[in-house]
Structures are given as structure tokens and as C-alpha cells.
Amino acid sequence: MSRFLSVTNAMKRVLDKWPAIAAWYEERGRQALRDRNPPDFPLENRQTDLIQVLSILTPVADKKFKSQAERAEQVEVLMALYMTRIDDLAPDQPIPHYLSLTPLASKTRDLLRDALDEHFFSRYYENTKFAACDFVLEMMLKLHPIYKDTQESLNRAVVMCCRQHGKPSKEAVDRLKDVTDKPNYSSASLSRLEARFAPHLAKLVPTSRVDRRSEDELDRWMDDPIGVLRNDHMTPMESVLQYWQRLEQSGEYRIIPTAVRVLFSTPTSSYQIEHDFSVSGEMASPQRSSLAGDSTDMCIFLNRNTEFVNLLQCEEIPRG
């Protein structure tokens, strides 16, 4: 994707300098007339194409740049992805300030939409990918106090993608119900992940009982109007983890806050992924082989949740 951002920046630079570039070729053309071999301007009659293609690439590039930030919020990146698919890449949506697209700009939008569908949105309309997907990102969306109402994001994206890829309207609505039900079912089973890292002597609550309590909490949460604390300018004053910590301390919820700490340890930005895997790679070889994938999982969990786990307070592991 770094090449994608580079192309966008290069096109912007060309358009910013368009008068100077056109004047340069015009002057060189006059000088070369005596040789009857004036240089061709390779972008002649392509300015409109470049402007419209750039108008498509710019909002997508802005969202990509945001997702690469050091502290990118997973749910905000996911919401940006939904809005890109719904607003920026939909063929029935006009490009800002233009009433129609040139063939090149239209083809560019089609190619971007197809690539995005193949690598992400196909999980909603392809049965094989749907069955294999755990919908972790969708669970995070459902447990976020600001974005849990998915009528204008997840719901629209699922129905739109299903219809555009050949599913009748009824099947598209049925798939939306399946997409909504699957994260809810998976969220109720997240307590099993905590048990993998718990001491062997810990007394575990029977799974069926935990699942019932989780479902009850999820039902209450979806109807709960309580929001994040905000200042006088309506800016959130607490993070997602702080929000759920407050609800946990109030006694309203006991299981969902644990699931939130696990879910929101999943990195989104390329910076965070590279950092987490480099930490895992610094472990001793015997430790890496014995813990297998769990070592990477725990490194990601500890590094991501800086508000939840302060690594500076951890005791040093003795050598030998």
C-alpha cells in the first residue's frame, strides 16, 4: 500500500505543477520545430482524467494513512473502510465537484472496488469465506460505545455488497442477519480464550453458564444508552478500555469487559503489527517453539493494552 500512497502523492504533485509542466513542453516544442521533431507531451488531454482519478484516490489514501498511525483505533479504521466502500467506491455515488466520470476514472474506481471486495468484503457474500471468518472486527464494532449502532455502516455495507455480487434482496437481508448473529455468538464464547492463559489450578465457571451470562449482558448492552464521558466540547474523555473499566467497576457488566480487553488487543496499524512481531522474535528459541502461536498472541495482547497492562511494573523473569 506504500506504492498506492506514492502514486497518489505523485499525481497530486503533477497536477499542482501542471501549468509549469505544460509551459515547459510548449517551449521545448517551439525550439524543436526547426528539427521537425518536437517532443510529445505524454499527458496531453489527460488533465481531466488525472483530476478525477485523484479525487477518487485521495479519500482512500487519507484513510490508509490514518490506519498506519502508531495509535490507530481499530474500530475507527473499520468504520472508515465501510464508508470508503459505501461512499467513495460505489458506482452510483458522484465524485465531489464532478457530474460524470471519464472512462479512465470510472475504471479506476471499479478496480479499487473489486480489490477491496476480494480482500475484505467477500467475507459477507462468499459462503466459504463467511463460514471460515471469525468476525473479530465486527465484534469490536458491536462493543464500541460510539459505533455499536451499525445501521449506517456494517448493515449498509453487507446488503450493498451482497446485492452487487448477485444475491437477491431477500438473501442479502438474510446474510445481514447471519453476519449480525455470528459476532454475537462468538462474543459469548470469548471467555474460553481467557482460560487458555489462566493458571491450571484456577476454578473455571462452566462454559454453558458463562455463555448464558454473556448473552444476557450482550442483550442489555445493545439497549444500554450510557455513553462515553465527554468534555464541554463534546470530545470523548476516556478510551474504550477506560469506558468498560468504569462499567465493570459499577457492577453493570462482568464478562464483556474481559472480552473487550482481549478484542482490543488486536493491532490494526502496520506500525503496531511490526512492533509486536519484533518483540515476539526477540524471545529465546526454545520459548518460541514451546509456546507456538500463543507467544505472539500474548505479546500482541500486552503491547496493545498499554492502558491495561503496565509492562514497567512487571517483575523481571530470572535467567537460567
Percent pLDDT > 70 in the chain is 65
Write down the pLDDT at residue 121: 93
Contacts of 7 by beta carbon, 8 Å cutoff, 6+ apart:
57
Write down the pLDDT at residue 162: 93
Query: 55-77 pLDDT, tens per residue?
Result: 888 877 777 776 766 555 677 77
Write down the pLDDT at residue 58: 80
User: What are the sequence ranges of the domains in the chain?
Assistant: 69-188
Cα–Cα separations (whole angstroms), residue 98 to 93, 142, 172, 203, 220: 11, 36, 31, 64, 46
DSSP secondary-structure letter at 118? I
One-letter amino acid at 105 equals A
Write down the pLDDT at residue 288: 47
Contacts of 124 by beta carbon, 8 Å cutoff, 6+ apart:
130, 157, 158, 161, 162, 175, 179
Write down the pLDDT at residue 198: 47
Partners of 236 in the beta sheet?
Answer: 230
The phi and psi torsions of 164 (rounded to 5 degrees) equal: -70, -20
Q: Give pTM, 2 decimals.
A: 0.56
Tell me which long-range contacts 235-242 makes (C-beta under 8 A, separation of at least 24): 236/146, 239/307, 240/73, 240/75, 240/143, 240/144, 240/145, 240/264, 241/305, 241/307, 241/308, 242/307
Taking a C-beta distance cutoff of 8 angstroms, is the pair 150, 99 a contact?
no
One-letter amino acid at 99 equals L
Identify the segments of the chain with pLDDT beneath 70: 1-2, 33-36, 38-39, 66, 68-73, 94-102, 183-212, 266-320
Tell me the CA end-to-end span of the chain in Å, nearest whole number. 43
Length of the chain: 320
> d(Cα 293, Cα 283) in Å, to the nearest integer?
13
Burial class of residue 155 in the structure, from the number of CB atoms within 10 Å of its CB (0-12 exposed, 13-18 middle, 19+ buried): middle
Write down the pLDDT at residue 163: 92
Taking a C-beta distance cutoff of 8 angstroms, is the pair 62, 88 a contact?
no
61: cell is: 489514501
